[in-house]
Amino acid sequence: MNDLLEAVPVLDIAIPVFNEERVLEQSVRVLHAHVHAVIPFATRITIVDNASEDATRLIGKQLAAELDGVRLLHLAEKGRGRAIRTAWTASDARVLAYMDVDLSTSLGTLGALIAPLLSGSSDISIGSRLTRGARVTRSAKRELISRGYNLLLRSVLHTRFRDAQCGFKAIRAEVARELLPAVRDQGWFFDTELLVFAQRGGLRIHEVPVEWVEDPDSRVNIPRTVITDLRGVLRMVQHPQPGGTTLRGQNIRPQEVR
Catalytic residue among 49, 123, 163, 191: 191
Evaluate whether residue 167 is within a structural domain.
yes
Task: Give residue-wise pLDDT tens across range 126-144.
Answer: 999 999 999 999 989 889 9
Evaluate whether residue 258 is within a structural domain.
no
**pLDDT score, position 224:** 80
Is the model's pLDDT at 170 over the cut of 60? yes
CATH code of 205's domain: 3.90.550.10
Backbone angles phi, psi at 253, to 5 degrees: -90, 120
Q: What percent of the chain has pLDDT over 90?
A: 77
Q: What is the mean pLDDT of residues 111-119?
A: 97
Spell out the alpha helix ranges (H) of the chain: 2-6, 24-38, 56-66, 80-89, 110-119, 140-152, 173-179, 190-200, 222-238
Evaluate whether residue 180 is within a structural domain.
yes
For residue 198, give its domain range.
2-252
Q: What is the mean pLDDT of residues 99-112?
A: 96
Distances (CA, A) of 206 to 37, 177, 195: 25, 19, 11
Evaluate whether residue 219 is within a structural domain.
yes
212 neighbors 104 (Cβ within 8 angstroms): yes
Evaluate whether residue 98 is within a structural domain.
yes
Task: Give residue-wise pLDDT tens across range 192-203.
Answer: 999 999 999 999
Strand partners, 70: 45
3 is catalytic: no
Evaluate whether residue 220 is within a structural domain.
yes
Indicate the residue type of 205: I
Distances (CA, A) of 89 to 123, 180, 209: 16, 9, 27
Task: Give residue-wise pLDDT tens across range 201-251.
Answer: 999 999 999 999 998 766 666 778 888 888 999 989 887 663 344 555 444
The structure's pTM equals 0.89
- Count Cβ atoms within 10 A of the Cβ of residue 148 and give its class: 0-12 exposed, 13-18 middle, 19 or more buried: exposed
How many structural domains is the chain composed of?
Answer: 1
Evaluate whether residue 257 is within a structural domain.
no
